[in-house]
Amino acid sequence: MKKTILFTTLLILNQAVFAENTPQNSNTNRHTSKQQQLKDIQWLRYPQVRISQDDLKNQNRYINLRLSVDGSGKITNISILTSTQLPALDRKVIRATQKALFKATGYPFVVDQDFKLDLASDDNSQESSEEDL
C-alpha cells in the first residue's frame, strides 16, 4: 500500500496580515483595528491536497506562500516566499490553495501562510489535518 503523507497546515496566520487601503474601504478600515482584522480572517474552505512519498522525495517539506485575498474571501494571487525546492510539489500546493476560500471580510488583505508537508506511516494516514486560526 502506498504511503500517504500527513498534510499539516500551519494555519496560525502570521502577523503579516495587511488590510489594503483602497478609496472605497478607507473609512471602514480606519474604524477597524488591526486586532479585529486578524480576528476576521478565517478559512472557510481549507486547502486540501493528496501527496505521496514520491512527491516529497521521501522527506518532510515546507513551503511559505503569500496570499492576496479579496473582500469576498477569494484568493486572487499567490506567490512563493519559501519553496519546497521541488517545483512540481510547489505547483501542487499552489493549485490546492487556489481552490481554498477565506471567510468574507469586506476588505482585501494579504497574508503569509506556512504549510508543513510531513510523511505519515500507513497506519496514521490522513488526507488533511488543519487547525482553526
How confident is the model over 42-57, as pLDDT tens digits?
A: 999 999 988 999 999 9
Model confidence band, residue 119 (pLDDT cutoffs 50, 70, 90): confident
Candidates 3.30.2420.10, 3.50.50.60, 3.10.450.350, 2.40.10.220; CATH matching 5-130: 3.30.2420.10
Residues in Cβ contact with 17 at an 8 Å cutoff, skipping those fewer than 6 apart: 37, 38, 41, 109, 110, 111
As a whole number, the mean pLDDT across the chain is 77
H helix intervals, the chain: 26-31, 34-40, 53-56, 87-98
Q: Give the separation between CA 14 and CA 1, rounded to whole angstroms.
A: 37
Model confidence band, residue 25 (pLDDT cutoffs 50, 70, 90): low
Q: What are the residue ranges spanned by the domains of the chain?
A: 5-130
98 pLDDT above the threshold of 60: yes
